[in-house]
Amino acid sequence: MVLIRLISLDTIILQFILKCITSNSSIMIVGKINKIQFQLQGAINYLNIGLMLLSLVAAYIIPFELFLFSYAVLGPLHYLTEISWLDKKNFFVKSKTDIVLLVLLVLLVSIAKFDNKSSANLFYTNFVFLAFAYALMVLFVNDTQTKIIFSVGIFLVTVLLGFNNYNGLPFLLFAVWLPTIIHVYVFTGIFICFGALKSRSVSGLLSVLVFLLCGVIFFLFTPDNIGMPITNYGKGAYSFFSFINISLYKLFGFGILKKTDNLLYTAPKALAVMRFIAFSYTYHYLNWFSKTSVIKWNEVSKRRMVVILVCWIAAVLLYAISYKVGFYALFLLSMLHVFLEFPLNHQTFIGVGKELSSMFNKRSTQ
b or e along 338-354 (b: 16 or more beta carbons within 10 Å of the residue's beta carbon)? bbbbbbbbbbbeebbee
Least confident of 58-62, 109-113, 296-300: 296-300
Query: Is 0.85 surpassed by the pTM of this model?
Result: yes
Percentage of the chain modeled with pLDDT above 70: 88
Residues near 71 by beta carbon (within 8 Å), at least 6 away in sequence:
241, 281
Evaluate whether 224 touches 271 at the Cβ level (below 8 Å): yes
DSSP conformational letter for 231: P
**Between 10 and 225, whose confidence is greater?**
225
How far is C-alpha 39 from the chain's CA centre? 24
**pLDDT tops 70 at residue 51:** yes
**pLDDT tops 80 at residue 95:** yes
**pLDDT tops 60 at residue 142:** yes
Evaluate whether 341 touches 82 at the Cβ level (below 8 Å): yes
* Cα 200 to Cα 187: distance, rounded to the nearest angstrom: 20
Least confident of 28-32, 77-81, 232-236: 28-32
Query: What are the structural domain ranges in the chain?
Result: 63-92+163-359
Q: Sorting pLDDT into bands at 50, 70 and 90, what band is 310?
A: very high
DSSP conformational letter for 224: S
Average the pLDDT over 35-59 and give the result: 84
Evaluate whether 274 touches 258 at the Cβ level (below 8 Å): no
**pLDDT tops 80 at residue 15:** no
Phi/psi for 260 (5° steps) reads: -90, -5
